[in-house]
Structure 1
Amino acid sequence: MSNIVHDERVVLLRGIANEILGIERLEPTGKPTADFRIVNIEQVALALEAAYDAGLVVGRRVARGETDDPQTYDEVFFP
């Protein structure tokens, strides 16, 4: 079950990074121009809020055994 939680969390965090912060990948490349970003504080606040909300949703789904839910990350963040 922990792999399911980890996989969902990674997908959700990548979605948040892409949609809100405009970051395409979360893996470091070793290139400062690709690994560092300047982001607006409002974007950081939105990303943190989305991550918190996603954690609540994923935690609830796992606790209830709803791991086969076809809900996409867009439906979780942007209903």
Structure 2
Amino acid sequence: MARNRKRPRRSESRPALQPGDSWLRIKNPYPPIAQFSEDEIEAIHLASLNLLRDKGIKVLSEEARGHYRDA
């Protein structure tokens, strides 16, 4: 025979986390890792501009096409 027990509500089973809880404030002591050099970022940017110039983009939304026309 199965037992019919109610689960306690979340508020009854454990207290809610508070924004001031010290263990929630995690700070990374290390500087961000540079994934790409400045030259590589510039090359990616220029390649994307060339791609847009040569191939263009297809805009399906009539409203968005209007924004491009007005720009």
What's the TM-score once normalised by structure 1's chain length? 0.28
Larger RCO, structures 1/2 (Cα 8 Å, 6+ apart) = 1
State TM-score, norm by structure 2.
Answer: 0.31
Larger radius of gyration: 2
Structure with greater helix percent: 1
